[in-house]
Amino acid sequence: MSDWADWDHIVKIDPDKTLVDGETFEDVAATGTDAIEVGGTTGMTEEKMKRVVDACGKHDIPVYIEPSNPASVVHSDRHDGYLIPVVMNAGDVAWITGAHKEWIRIDDEIDWSRTFTEAYIVMNPEASVASYTQANCDLDAADVAAYAEAAEHLLGQEIVYVEYSGMLGDTDIVAAAADALDDATLFYGGGIHDYESARTMAQHADTIVVGDLVHDEGVEAVRETVQGAKDATATVR
Residue numbers in the known binding site for Mg(2+) are 14, 41
Burial category of 215 from C-beta neighbours within 10 Å (exposed 0-12, middle 13-18, buried 19 and up): middle
* Helix 171-180 vs helix 195-202: crossing angle, to nearest 10: 30
Do residues 92 and 69 make contact, with C-beta atoms less than 8 angstroms apart? no
Cα separation, 173 vs 156, in Å, equals 21
Report DSSP letters for 105-154, one per residue. HH-S---GGGEEEEEEEE--TTSHHHHHHT------HHHHHHHHHHHHHT
Residue 171 CB neighbours (<10 A): 14
Query: Which residues are registered as beta bridge partners of 1?
Result: none
Q: Enumerate the known binding-site residues for sn-glycerol 1-phosphate.
A: 12, 161-166, 191, 211-212
Q: Which of 120, 192, 211, 126 is nearest to 162 (CA)?
A: 120
Cα 95 from chain centre: 15
Annotated binding site: 12, 14, 41, 161-166, 191, 211-212
Q: Supply the DSSP symbol for 33.
A: -
Say if residues 44 and 69 touch (Cβ distance below 8 Å). Answer: yes
